[in-house]
Amino acid sequence: MEYEKLINGAIEAREYAYAPYSNFKVGAAVLMEEDKIFTGCNIENASFGATNCAERTAIFKGVAEGYKTIKAVAVTGDPNSYTFPCGICRQVIAEFAENGDIEIIVVKNKNEYMIMTLDEILPGSFTKKDLNN
């Protein structure tokens, strides 16, 4: 099942996190069209605002290779608790999500994860539909 691949992808990607300032490592995996999976980690910077979250790293990798539709996202941070996508990442997920029902898999470890929809974690989202009105 794709979930297992996504969960493992996020856990493996966390190993590559560049987080010397926060020491908080995050990994993400995003399922896009054609069942393509892209993974990413957080990449920090001495100028803290230049930091990129794991979710956006994964999404931007996909977009940069021609994939623009997100079907599911897995994210994992602290292995002892559930790390949800930050607000900016929720907004970026919304930009490319197939619809509001896509699943966000919040992973504590291989066997413990929560599944929520994008609409549940980002209700009343502002997206291109608003600009097209």
| Active-site residue flag, 55 | yes
- One-letter amino acid at 87 equals G
Q: Does 55 bind ligand THU (CB under 6 A)?
A: yes
Q: Which stretch binds ligand THU (CB under 6 A): 8-16, 49-57, 62-70, 121-129?
A: 49-57
Smallest distance from the beta carbon of 55 to ligand THU, in angstroms? 6
Binding pattern to ligand THU, positions 62-91, x when CB under 6 A? Answer: -----------------------xx--x--
Contacts 24+ apart (CB under 8 A), 12-17: 12/39, 13/39, 13/40, 13/41, 13/54, 13/58, 14/41, 14/54, 14/76, 14/77, 15/41, 16/41, 17/41, 17/42, 17/43, 17/54
Residues that bind ligand THU (CB under 6 A): 19, 22, 24, 26, 42, 44, 51, 53-55, 85-86, 89
